Amino acid sequence: MNALKYYIISHRDAARLGLTGYRQGTPEKGYVVHSGDFVGATEDFLERAKLVSEQEALDFIKTLKHE
């Protein structure tokens, strides 16, 4: 079983992938997505994405809530 990977992507990429409606993030800081969200997307999206651990993703979300 391959572990799910989490990424932070830019607002532009999130919008192009149609994820801004239900993924957590802001236009300024980007959005947290997982590897399943890239299904069907071209490789360049993944190349621009920043891979983060689950804990780093949770920490990122905390910073969103404190804004």
Partner 1 sequence: MQIRKNQGRVVHSSLSFIFQVVEMGGSLLQKYDATTASFIPHRGVTPLVLQPQLIVSDPDGTVATADYVSQMRNVSWELTLMSGGSSSTLPATSGAVTNYAVDSTTKRLTLFRNVQPQEVVHVRFFGQYLDARRNEVFDFEWTRDCSTEVQTDLNITLDTGQWRSKVRMIPMRRWGQFGIPVQLKNGPENIADADASYQWQWWNAATNAWSEDFSEQAWLVSGEQTKEITVDQDFIQDVRLRVMAIAFGNVNTAQYFTTRLQRWYGQFDYDVEFLRGKYIFHDTDTVVLNAWVANAKGKISSPCMYFDMELFFAIGTGDFESVGYGEEVIIKRNGLQGGQPKAGILLRELSAFRALCEDNGTPLCLDDGTPLFAQFPTKSRQV
Decide if residue 23 touches partner 1 (CB under 8 A): yes
Contact track, partner 1, 41-60, x by CB under 8 A: -------------x--xx--
Contact call for residues 7 and 33 (beta carbons, < 8 A)? yes
Give the Cβ contact number of residue 56 at 10 Å.
14
Residue type, 40: G
Interface residue with partner 1 among 11, 15, 20, 24 (CB under 8 A) is 24
The full length of the chain comes to 67
Contacts to partner 1 by CB under 8 A: 1-4, 6, 19, 21-24, 32-34, 36-37, 54, 57-58, 61
